[in-house]
Amino acid sequence: MQPALLHLERRQTIAHKAGRTRDLLARHGIERPTVTGTGRFEFETASGLCTELQCGSYIFMGADYGRHL
């Protein structure tokens, strides 16, 4: 199988599990109207799950992680 296809299948699996988790929480009275994506616009919008993106956070987090290593 091609690496790009494996990557797509993995993203779809992650989105499916995240959606199931959101639905399970809602069934137990815990509403989560905001689902944050990783900033990969093409994947997050295709999933139909994410309601916000945190684009660019890696710029700041990389420096923070570096200080703690």
**Per-residue model confidence as pLDDT tens digits over 9-26:** 888 888 888 889 889 999
Task: Give whole-number Cα distances, 41 to 16, 26, 29, 53, in Å.
Answer: 17, 25, 29, 8
Query: pLDDT confidence of 2, banded at 50, 70, 90?
Result: low
Contacts of 51 (CB under 8 A, 6+ apart): 33, 34, 35, 36
| Average pLDDT of the residues of the chain | 78
Count, in order, helices (H) and strands (E) of the chain.
Answer: 3, 2
Can you give the C-alpha Rg of the chain in angstroms? 15
Average pLDDT over residues 48-61: 74
